[in-house]
Amino acid sequence: MGKKARLIFTRTCLKHCDGCCMRNIPQDAPREINIKQLVNYQEICITGGEPMCFHRELKDLIYCIKKESRIHRRKPKIILYTASPYPVISFIDILKELDGCTVTLHDDQDKWEFFRSHLNFIERFPESSLKSLWLNTFVSFSEKEMSLCTAWKVRQKKWLEHCPLPEGEELVRLKGLNI
Ligand code: SF4
């Protein structure tokens, strides 16, 4: 078992990125596990697809992971991967329950929407400094844009052809979760 579980929460996504990795992952490729096995990982990265398409179900899932972790005296870090941290109020509500989040900006439209919606992020969520917040971007930032990302660590990314899974990570799906 790897140290990190990359949990495919859903395959649904409203974007249609040319280099999307999901197209190359067969339906049954992620190993199917139950929640007890899931909380044995040191870190759980919830990804998709776009998890925020189902933010209520996502909150339920995080609640279940935490409950199961308490039962088995485990404390996995829970991280969300999203390209759509909206509505901001729902995103902050979910972020409160997480150890961190990686937001990925795939194109200029994503960047524009992020700056428009998250400009007063720190005022709305003063606890942001307690979280691990990464902003992955496939588009470049000006110095002024960089200076606006105070709550976030910015990481410039390049599309990779076969989306190799980082060492120590395992691609999993959860038994009974079909969204
Ligand atoms: S946002 Fe992510 S999951 Fe959605 S199409 Fe783009 S790469 Fe794929």
Domain residue spans of the chain: 4-174
For residue 53, name the pLDDT band (cuts at 50, 70, 90).
Answer: very high
- Which H or E run contains 36? helix 35-38
Q: Is the predicted pLDDT of residue 97 greater than 90, yes or no?
A: yes
**Residues within 6 Å of ligand 1 by CB:** 13, 15-17, 20, 22, 48-50, 83, 106
pLDDT digits (tens, 9 = 90+) for 99-156: 999 999 999 999 999 999 988 899 999 999 999 999 999 999 999 999 999 999 999 9
Q: What is the structure's pLDDT at 1?
A: 61
Q: Is the predicted pLDDT of residue 2 greater than 70, yes or no?
A: no
Minimal CA–CA distance to 19: which of 96, 80, 69, 83? 83
CATH architecture of 4-174: Alpha-Beta Barrel (3.20)
Q: What is the mean pLDDT of residues 8-37?
A: 90
> Ligand 1: distance of its center to the CA of 71 in Å?
34
CB–CB of 86/93 below 8 Å? no
Q: What is the mean pLDDT of residues 60-82?
A: 97
Minimal CA–CA distance to 82: which of 61, 62, 53? 53
CB–CB of 39/23 below 8 Å? no
- Which H or E run contains 95? helix 88-95
Q: Which residue has the higher pLDDT, 24 or 169?
A: 169
Backbone phi and psi for residue 30, each to the nearest 5 degrees, phi listed first: -65, 140
> Ligand 1: distance of its center to the CA of 158 in Å?
14
For residue 27, name the pLDDT band (cuts at 50, 70, 90).
Answer: confident
124 vs 34: CA distance, rounded Å:
35
Choose the residue to mutate in 24, 45, 50, 137 for probing ligand 1, maximizing ligand atoms within 8 Å of C-beta: 50
Average pLDDT along the chain: 93
CB neighbour list of residue 137: distance below 8 Å, 6 or more residues apart:
104, 105, 111, 154, 155, 156, 157
> Ligand 1: distance of its center to the CA of 139 in Å?
15
